[in-house]
Amino acid sequence: MSQVSEFVVVANRLPVDRVPGTANGGTNGEGAAWRRSPGGLVSAIAPVMRRREGTWVGWHGAPDEVLEPFETDGMKLVPVPQSSEDVELYYEGFSNATLWPLYHDVVAPPVYSREMWDAYVKVNERFAQAAAKVAAKGAIVWIQDYQLQLVPSMLRRLRPDVRIGFFLHIPFPPLELFWQLPWRRRILEGLLGADLVGFQLPGAANNFVRLCRRLLDARYNKQDLFWEDRVVRARSFPISVDVGELEDLVAQPHVQERVDEIRNDVGGATILLGVDRLDYTKGITQRLEAFGELFRDGHLKPGQAAFIQIATPSRERVEQYQLLRDQIEQQVGRINGEYGEIGYPVVNYMHTSHTRDELAALYLAADVMVVTPLRDGMNLVAKEYVACRADLRGALVLSEFAGAAAELRRAYQVNPYDIDGLKETLLAAMHAEPAEQARRMRAMRKRVIEHDVDRWAREFLSSLEQQA
Ligand code: ADQ
């Protein structure tokens, strides 16, 4: 494997998962079997990686294990080790108990711990060192997401010759919230090490510029910041999905067969679907509450409509996530206990991850897709649903607080805090005529097809490369 690359991606996780049951001893990653992780980010970046013989720097997912660099699926991978303590303090701690809630409108109270902050600095430094080692002279380095916001300036200090891009996948909060963070200046200075700082929406880029002006006295012109004799550009690049991959999936006969099975399993009821990581930002309890009340009020009867909620296990050692799981499981039990009948549960809840094929079948089977986050950077599930519905059927209920709402104007948009509004919207979506469904779906598909994830990656990288 050549020592350095012209193109380097740095992300908390490597784009591969170890195949369960394969070797995990030794220090050589090639001893174990790896498969590419599912998801749009990986499929968008993988072709660029291959074309440019790039290297991906990230954690391989097992704590307390040091692995040598290895190659798989045509990608060069450099594992950055994390101890159990790093996982607890840097990942579960500062990333997911401090930054995640703070950046999502403080829908849960952020934890401010100096010990967690110290771990965040230490692990970011480790990622910066690893990236500095593999970047060729003048390389392009693309750093991903909130876990690594200090890496741009740390890397610049080590390697002033490289060109640095950073993309934040989650929202960037307004001044009034960001202000709470005891290390607020350090985070901004960290990001300002990049040449291009990318956000999902223009509003987030504006929040960043405004904060740099107020907190650091940075000079600016529109979305350009002038910092340490350099120009740092803040721009928006809304992420999207791999439309081609999803269209191929839904055309497969076994996926079509599975759609019929799912429809049979619910006895022909109208299917409402939720697909999320089990996360308090996703508004799962709000949508279930609204759905349950439609039975209570007599708008729906068991057998007429069924809610399928898939919630992928996520961050299970963080307390807020454990509390949420209990809350949802109680809620599902209560709704089924009150309104379900033998053979007709009202809510079908699964706390599991699903294959892409199964997800595609669920999207196709769903009459109404319910996406109600309280705050979300983009929300790919909404776009995946649209990408799968080449049949122009189905209705998308979408929170105004998802980044995707800016593009999917023809969704049934809703404020998830407004339970009555949510109930009305669910009914309207369930009762939409096929012609109305098609009209809305066609407009949303146009947007998603024209702005797929490949375009997202190309636009970010060409913007970074064009920078003088
Ligand atoms: P997430 O918060 O993880 O992403 P989202 O954008 O919806 O949210 O992506 C979730 C992905 O996981 C989707 O591709 C979905 O298909 C998949 N998924 C969800 N549940 C699953 C299940 N049970 N089984 C298998 N797969 C499942 C963060 C930000 C988002 C932003 C993305 C990308 O929070 O706002 O859109 O990054 O930038």
Hey, which of 17, 43, 240, 379 would you mutate to test ligand 1's pocket, going by the most ligand atoms within 8 Å of its Cβ?
Answer: 379
C-alpha 457 – ligand 1 centre gap (Å)? 17
Q: pLDDT, tens digit, for every residue of 169-203?
A: 999 999 999 999 999 999 999 999 999 999 999 99
The values of phi and psi at residue 315, to 5°, are 45, 50
**Per-residue confidence (pLDDT) for residue 22, from 0 to 100:** 77
CB neighbours of 198 closer than 8 A, spacing ≥ 6?
A: 165, 166, 167, 168, 235, 236, 237, 460
Give yes or no for a contact between 279 and 318, defined as CB atoms under 8 angstroms apart.
Answer: no
**Per-residue confidence (pLDDT) for residue 468, from 0 to 100:** 62
In the set 169, 299, 351, 354, the catalytic residue is 169
Q: pLDDT, tens digit, for every residue of 38-75?
A: 776 787 888 888 888 999 999 999 999 999 999 988 88
Give yes or no for a contact between 7 and 140, defined as CB atoms under 8 angstroms apart.
Answer: yes
Q: pLDDT, tens digit, for every residue of 369-402?
A: 999 999 999 999 999 999 999 999 999 999 999 9
**Mean pLDDT calculated for residue range 440-463:** 97
Q: pLDDT, tens digit, for every residue of 218-240?
A: 999 999 999 999 999 999 999 99
Give yes or no for a contact between 238 and 451, defined as CB atoms under 8 angstroms apart.
Answer: yes
Give yes or no for a contact between 77 and 69, defined as CB atoms under 8 angstroms apart.
Answer: yes
Residue 451 annotated as catalytic: no
In the set 376, 451, 452, 454, the catalytic residue is 376
Closest atom of ligand 1 relative to the 350 alpha carbon: 23
pLDDT tier for residue 274 given thresholds of 50, 70 and 90? very high
Cα gap 351→331, rounded to integer Å: 14
Where do the structural domains in the chain lie, given as residue ranges? 5-239+454-466, 243-450
Q: 3-class DSSP state for residue 150? A: coil
Q: Which fold has domain 243-450?
A: Rossmann fold (3.40.50)
pLDDT tier for residue 122 given thresholds of 50, 70 and 90? very high
**Mean pLDDT calculated for residue range 415-419:** 98
Q: pLDDT, tens digit, for every residue of 93-120?
A: 999 999 999 999 999 999 999 999 999 9
CATH 3.40.30.10 fits 5-239+454-466, yes or no: no
- Residue 301 corresponds to which tokens in the numbers above? 């009867």
- What secondary structure does DSSP assign to 254-303, as a single string? HHHHHHHHHHHHTTTPEEEEEEEES-GGG-HHHHHHHHHHHHHTTS--TT
**Per-residue confidence (pLDDT) for residue 31, from 0 to 100:** 64
Give yes or no for a contact between 394 and 368, defined as CB atoms under 8 angstroms apart.
Answer: yes
C-alpha 300 – ligand 1 centre gap (Å)? 30
Residue 387: alpha-carbon gap to chain centroid: 17
Residue 118 annotated as catalytic: no
Cβ of 239 below 6 Å from ligand 1:
yes
- What secondary structure does DSSP assign to 120-140, as a single string? HHHHHHHHHHHHHHHEEEEEE
Q: pLDDT, tens digit, for every residue of 291-301?
A: 999 999 999 99
Q: pLDDT, tens digit, for every residue of 420-436?
A: 999 999 999 999 999 99
pLDDT tier for residue 3 given thresholds of 50, 70 and 90? confident
pTM for the whole structure: 0.97
Give yes or no for a contact between 399 and 283, defined as CB atoms under 8 angstroms apart.
Answer: yes
Q: What is the mean pLDDT of the chain?
A: 95
Closest atom of ligand 1 relative to the 239 alpha carbon: 38
**Per-residue confidence (pLDDT) for residue 437, from 0 to 100:** 98
Closest atom of ligand 1 relative to the 169 alpha carbon: 38
Cβ of 24 below 6 Å from ligand 1:
no
Same CATH fold assignment for domains 5-239+454-466 and 243-450: yes
Give yes or no for a contact between 200 and 207, defined as CB atoms under 8 angstroms apart.
Answer: no
Cβ of 92 below 6 Å from ligand 1:
no
C-alpha 381 – ligand 1 centre gap (Å)? 6
Closest atom of ligand 1 relative to the 275 alpha carbon: 20
C-alpha 384 – ligand 1 centre gap (Å)? 10
Going by alpha carbons, the residue nearest to atom 3 of ligand 1 is 277
